[in-house]
Structure 1
Amino acid sequence: MSGMEDAEIERVLREYDVFQAAKAGLLIPCQEIVDRLGVGVLHQYDREGHTPLHWAALGGHSHVVRFFIECRAPVDMSARNELGAQPIHWAASGGHVPVVDLLLEAGAAIDATDNKGCSPLITASQYARTNLTGYLLGRGARYQLVDREGDNALHWAAFKGNAEMCRLLIYSGFNPKQRDNFGQTPLHLGALSGNLNCVKVLVEQEVELEAVDFNGNSPKKLAEGRKHWETVRYLERSAARNIQKSVIPIFDLQSVIFGPPGRRKTTMHFMLGILIFLAYPTYFLRILPTVTLEGFPLANLIFWCANFVLWVNMIRTHNTDPGVLPRNTEEYSDKIKAVARYDKWEDGEENPLSRLCHTCRCVKPLRAKHCKIINRCIKRFDHHCAYVGNSIGYHNQHHFYLFVASTLVMLWTFHYIAYQTQHQEAKQDWWLLFCQMICGVFTFLVTPLFIGTTYNAVKNLTTNEQVNFRRYEYLKNSMGQFSNPFDRGAKENLKEFFHLKRSVEEVTTQNPAMSV
């Protein structure tokens, strides 16, 4: 090829940048560039050593990837850089199942490795792409593969602190006791991450808790070095249970009082301490002698009615099952097995992996979510409330609302009777001012919570949906804009919220796919 022809190609490439078009997912510009320059342009590398197919795969632009494949673009070209990743690795890093499916159908190797020995499965675990991991396992990816340092997908999932990924990989046959080139098991790496749920998943597999790596470090020692104290306490308790094999269980007073590691009740105890040791003594010993029952009967009645409702609903919210879904369901196993036979990744149908919870091994119904605090999937999950020590879901949402409402009424009533006490005595009381200041802090926190909970009840939304609505396809219309299919009007929504009417989860939307 002459120098003039080379210059002409460089000029056209500058004018029509195929790499930028592929990166942006612009199909028509990509088609025009290929028409002008020929399919050879798809064999070119940019300054960073990547092909156009790399960029299209990274962005998850399946329509562009399909066009490149139809133009006979090579699907197994490694990047010309230190990592040497193929397009399938880039698609795996983004968790783009349709793109990976297209590349595999076009001949890409499911176990292709980059220069660090990472396969697409290992790459997916590094980037916490659980759905893609399930897909690759269903398509037959080899789980025996390790990278240059001897780490497999389970090692990486543990290091990244991904409990759900760890459970999926163990369920699929990964060995939780396997060591890497440094003598570290997944538990060592999980302890480094400090993710308690991840460590719990690994400890459940009866791995050796005191195993040391080639540097003499145990999982507990590594957790101590990173100051992951909850993980340290959990490993200590687990080791103590392994030592004491008697019928009598170990009595852990600290866990009974303050809760087990990862589910501490410190916030709830703080609130109870404020009520029992500050608010009530102040009321009985300082306020009631001045603001008497005879002089202010309504204010005192409201105060005690609010306290009664508060305690009843706090206890009910704490003790009521929020809507925990069953574990280890047959439906989950059927969905996992069906992945290898599924061939409609681009047809707009619901992804068979999208509603799977690999931690609970169940298929989540619409509006359900896995709570990382109690480590269970919750029906119509709202949020986890540290003040009541429980998650809020379909079965205890109304108790929680009454708890919040009564708390707010009690706080404002306390403000009023404390003010009346100082007004009646015609002097300032610094203790009462201090109590009012504490009360004001709680009022500042509870008021927006009450407003938000009321709004969600009226609109038939959950806090999780309100905050993360962009993640859920069932909260979008055909134009991709927010749309609430559960809103049947304030009256009907409140009936449903307080369990006076059946829920409306069965509503069918144009695209019911749920993004986990």
Structure 2
Amino acid sequence: MSAACERGFSSEELLSLRFPLHRACRDGDVGALRSLLAVSSPTDISLEDNFYGWTPLHWAAHFGKLECVMQLVQAGVGVNISTTRFAQTPAHIAAFGGHPRGLLWLIQVGADYNIQDYVGETPVHKAARSGSLDCLNVLVSHGAKTDLRNASGLTAAELALAQGFRQCSQYLCSVQNHRLNGFYTNGIASGLYRDNLITDGLNGYMGTNRKRSHEESDHGGIKKPRTDDSSFSQLWALMA
């Protein structure tokens, strides 16, 4: 990357020239992606970029481009493909980015939602780190573990609290308490959060009722749980 930049290429030009699959996934350009996949080798579709060390599938997961995610998996990209540098899967990236529909689809086709990255964090930790209550709901409803600790010794609930997402922390603590007391069965916490769920049209996707989440948020200096998409500027927080 540095050599190309030294020759006067901008990052955007470099992305277009050397990583067209990644750019198509960033932009959600399904037509371009299909055309590129038709002439790409298995090496091309799993290539890590020089910016974040992500494959095209990681880019699609981060930006919430579900159609691109589907195209790549159908083209043979492993749903649990892990980055060399940070050992993060698309599920980690989607959870941190706050994309519950993409995360749900990945889980439905075999994504490991309990896998830990290089700092010991699971997708539950990533959703907690970014305050995505929607993604936490998807993960918990499928039985994701909430008691795993990262390399710093923090559970997802403790991490959410440290980041200022108190509602996410309380939700995770409630899930854990219900599980310990035997009220959590078959991946569904009976009565625990059912009142906060709505269907979203993706095979019964369950996400939080956004209006209710915001109305119930604490405004006393406490961050609201995120129920919208993340911005590109938050990429580096994932690497923390």
Say yes or no: TM over 0.5.
yes
Count of equivalent residues: 199
Report whether the alignment pairs 1:97 with 2:30.
yes
- Structure-2 change in CA distance of 1:142 and 1:157 (3 Å): same
- Report the CA distance between 1:246 and its aligned residue: 6.4
- Cα distance in structure 1, aligned partners of 2:152 and 2:55: 28
SS of 2:48's partner is: coil
- Equivalent residues in 2 for 1:294-313, closer than 5 Å: none
Contact 1:177 1:207 in 2 (8 A): yes
TM-score, normalised to structure 1, is 0.35
Structure 2 match to 1:194: 131
Q: Could you tell me which of 65, 69, 78 is aligned with 1:142?
A: 78
Residue 49 of structure 2 aligns to which amino acid in structure 1?
Answer: D
Report whether the alignment pairs 1:48 with 2:10.
yes
For residues 189-212 of structure 1, give each alpha carbon's deviation from its aligned partner in whole angstroms, at most 9, with x where no partner exists.
111121212101111232221211
- Report the CA distance between 1:107 and its aligned residue: 2.9
- Cα distance in structure 2, aligned partners of 1:360 and 1:230: 24
- Report the CA distance between 1:232 and its aligned residue: 1.6
- Cα distance in structure 2, aligned partners of 1:196 and 1:261: 13
RMSD over aligned Cα atoms: 3.3
Contact 2:100 2:207 in 1 (8 A): no
Report whether the alignment pairs 1:124 with 2:49.
no
- Cα distance in structure 2, aligned partners of 1:88 and 1:238: 39
- Structure-2 change in CA distance of 1:165 and 1:262 (3 Å): farther
Structure 2 match to 1:278: none
Larger radius of gyration: 1
Report whether the alignment pairs 1:176 with 2:113.
yes
- Structure-2 change in CA distance of 1:189 and 1:97 (3 Å): same
- Equivalent residues in 2 for 1:40-439, closer than 5 Å: 47-48=9-10, 51=13, 54=16, 78=18, 86-107=19-40, 109-115=44-50, 116-147=52-83, 148-245=85-182, 263=196, 357-358=201-202, 360=204, 372-373=208-209
- Report the CA distance between 1:163 and its aligned residue: 1.1
- Report the CA distance between 1:95 and its aligned residue: 0.9
Contact 1:231 1:261 in 2 (8 A): no
Percent sequence identity is 22
SS of 1:207's partner is: coil
SS of 1:174's partner is: coil
> RCO greater where, 1 or 2, for CA within 8 Å and sep 6 or more?
2
Unaligned runs of 5+ in 2: 1-6, 214-240
- Structure-2 change in CA distance of 1:48 and 1:198 (3 Å): same
- Cα distance in structure 2, aligned partners of 1:49 and 1:246: 51
- Structure-2 change in CA distance of 1:121 and 1:243 (3 Å): same
- Report the CA distance between 1:170 and its aligned residue: 0.4
Contact 1:91 1:100 in 2 (8 A): yes
- Report the CA distance between 1:372 and its aligned residue: 4.7
Residue 167 of structure 1 aligns to which amino acid in structure 2?
Answer: L
Contact 1:177 1:186 in 2 (8 A): yes
- Structure-2 change in CA distance of 1:214 and 1:359 (3 Å): farther
- Report the CA distance between 1:144 and its aligned residue: 3.0
- Report the CA distance between 1:53 and its aligned residue: 8.6
- Structure-2 change in CA distance of 1:89 and 1:161 (3 Å): same
- Cα distance in structure 1, aligned partners of 2:181 and 2:207: 31
Contact 2:183 2:190 in 1 (8 A): no
For residues 135-172 of structure 1, give each alpha carbon's deviation from its aligned partner in whole angstroms, at most 9, with x where no partner exists.
21122212232221111100011111211111111001
Residue 59 of structure 2 aligns to which amino acid in structure 1?
Answer: T
Contact 2:196 2:212 in 1 (8 A): no
- Report the CA distance between 1:177 and its aligned residue: 0.6
Residue 196 of structure 1 aligns to which amino acid in structure 2?
Answer: L
Q: Which runs of 4+ in 1 moved over 6 A?
A: none
- Structure-2 change in CA distance of 1:219 and 1:101 (3 Å): same
Contact 2:64 2:94 in 1 (8 A): yes
Contact 2:97 2:130 in 1 (8 A): yes
